[in-house]
Amino acid sequence: MFQVNFSEQSMNELNQLDTRSQMMLVEVVSCLTQEQLDHPGDELGCFQRNGKVYFRVRAGEFRIYFEQQEDVLHAHYILHRNTFADFVFRSKLPITEDFLVEQEDSFWKYLESLRQKEDKEG
């Protein structure tokens, strides 16, 4: 059983849930085994982003993105499944930490920032 640390974003998401849902999410992550992390399957995915190895575990309506730091799992993000923020993170699109915190509210601003970036580069 791993110790789990939560980022500010993931704690904010947890705090919005009822106690039962919080316990379920924490249990899903903390009960992962080293064997599962070494050989991800359907419920647990693995990918690299910005030089870090991230795992993505499904927990009901949520997706928890975390990395392993020795015997500690650090949960960076808890995102609702099938949301734009979840898609953006999985797809490795260029994002900021603020974008994931704000999620869909900043969708149009995010697209506008990409357009402005292209205009500056082009």
Residue ranges covered by each domain of the chain: 3-93
Using alpha carbons, list the distances in angstroms from residue 70 to 3, 16, 37, 40, 54. Answer: 10, 29, 12, 17, 14
Q: pTM of the full predicted structure? A: 0.69
- Per-residue pLDDT for the chain (122 aa), expressed as one digit of tens each? 788 999 988 898 899 999 999 999 999 998 999 999 999 887 788 888 778 888 989 888 888 989 999 889 999 888 877 666 555 666 555 555 555 555 544 455 555 666 666 667 66
Residue pair 9/78 in contact by the 8 Å Cβ criterion: yes
pLDDT at 22: 92
pLDDT at 83: 66
- Architecture, CATH, for domain 3-93: 2-Layer Sandwich (3.30)
Residue pair 12/101 in contact by the 8 Å Cβ criterion: yes
